[in-house]
Amino acid sequence: MAVPRNRTSNARKNARRSHHAKKPKHLGLCSNCGTPRPSHRLCPSCGHYNNRVVIKQEEQE
């Protein structure tokens, strides 16, 4: 079994973990209505994807 020769210092340990922070989600704009939506996902407000209607939305009164 492998045993580390020396203890890893806190600075070295934290420098290694510097890339583990969460990043904000990247949102693109819908080509039909312009609302922000995740990329490669159906637009939740108008139901369009790739310039096509995938889900028909009911007209709200």
Whether 22 maps to a domain, the answer reads no
pLDDT attached to residue 59: 62
Label residue 47 exposed, middle or buried (CB < 10 Å: 0-12, 13-18, 19+).
middle
Summarised one tens digit per residue, pLDDT across range 22-56 is: 989 899 999 889 999 999 999 988 889 988 888 88
DSSP label at residue 25: P
Number of domains in the chain: 1
Whether 15 maps to a domain, the answer reads no
**CA 50, CA 28: separation in Å to the nearest integer?**
13
Residue 61 has pLDDT above 60, yes or no: no
Whether 32 maps to a domain, the answer reads yes
Q: What is the pTM of this model?
A: 0.52
Whether 21 maps to a domain, the answer reads no
Which residue range is the domain that position 60 belongs to? 27-61
